[in-house]
Amino acid sequence: MPTAIRLLQLNNVQLVGRLTRDPELRFTTSGVPVCRFDMAVNRNFKDKTGEWKEDATFITVVVWREAGQRCGEKLKKGSPVYVEGRLKSKNWETKDGCGPGGPGGGRRGGRPMMRRKVCRFCAEKIAEVDYKAIPILRGFLTARGKMLGGRTTGNCARHQRQLTQGIKRSRMLALLPYTGE
Ligand SMILES: [Zn+2]
């Protein structure tokens, strides 16, 4: 065993992006506000051919107490947001929330929250799923051509319904293979 060294522990993240949906403001049984929202952070990069590409990362953010209350009241889908906080496995919790108004102070860890996937179509503001958009539809099929369920895809009910219909239509037009089952 190496000599015990006091190791600096650091877990600090800063993110700038936009909300992909309206925030959810809830209260614990003891009345503590807790706001949860999903944000998308875009990154631009050059691919092998030198062409600029955009790539988005989706992150769920949890903000407690006063800062959470403010987020729940002031933010909405599409709002730009700067988040500083710590990374929690499958979760982010902010330390000082969003916007001006100062730090809300360090938080107790909080209980783990259900991770919510972001509906890809909502995130990209696609109102109607296009049944001719084969590369997109294909992304929701398994290698064997079976359709993935809403729980797997993270799509909202409305878009999942449209997707099911879109895939059916594409199959009828023989743009996509039927499942082997
Ligand atoms: Zn959706």
Beta strands in the chain (DSSP E): 13-19, 24-27, 33-46, 52-64, 80-88, 91-94
> Ligand 1 centre and the CA of 21: distance in Å?
10
Instruction: Note whether 56 and 99 are same-domain residues.
Output: yes
Q: Which residues pair with 93 in a beta bridge?
A: 62, 86
Token pair belonging to 56: 């988005």
Token pair 């099929």 in the structure block, residue: 141
For residues 59 and 99, state if they share a domain. Answer: yes
Q: Which residues surround ligand 1, an ion (CB under 5 A)?
A: 119, 121-122, 156, 159
SS3 state at 169: helix
73: its two tokens? 């009241």
Q: How far is the CA of 105 from the centre of ligand 1 (A)?
A: 34
CATH number at residue 83: 2.40.50.140
Distance (Å) from CA 118 to ligand 1 centroid: 8
Is residue 65 domain-shared with residue 109, that is, in the same domain? yes
Residues 131, 62: one domain? no
The secondary structure of the chain in percent helix, strand, coil, rounded to multiples of 5, reads 20, 30, 50
Instruction: Tell me how far the alpha carbon of residue 68 lies from the centroid of ligand 1, in angstroms.
Output: 24
Residue 66 to residues 5, 34, 40, 95, Cα–Cα distance (Å): 38, 9, 23, 11
Dist CA 150 CA 164 (whole Å): 10
Q: Do residues 109 and 132 share a domain?
A: no
**Which pLDDT score, from 0 to 100, does residue 94 have?**
54
> Separation of 5 CA from ligand 1 center, angstroms?
49
Q: List the CATH number of the domain containing 127.
A: 4.10.640.10
Helix (H) or strand (E) holding 67: helix 65-74
pLDDT in tens, the chain (181 residues): 567 788 888 999 999 999 999 999 988 888 889 999 999 999 999 999 999 999 999 999 999 999 999 999 999 999 999 999 999 876 445 554 443 333 333 333 444 444 456 787 887 788 888 877 777 777 777 767 777 777 777 788 888 888 888 888 888 777 666 665 4
CA of 111 to the centre of ligand 1 (A): 27
Give me the domain span that covers residue 129.
Answer: 121-172
Question: End of a domain among 96, 116, 136?
Answer: 116
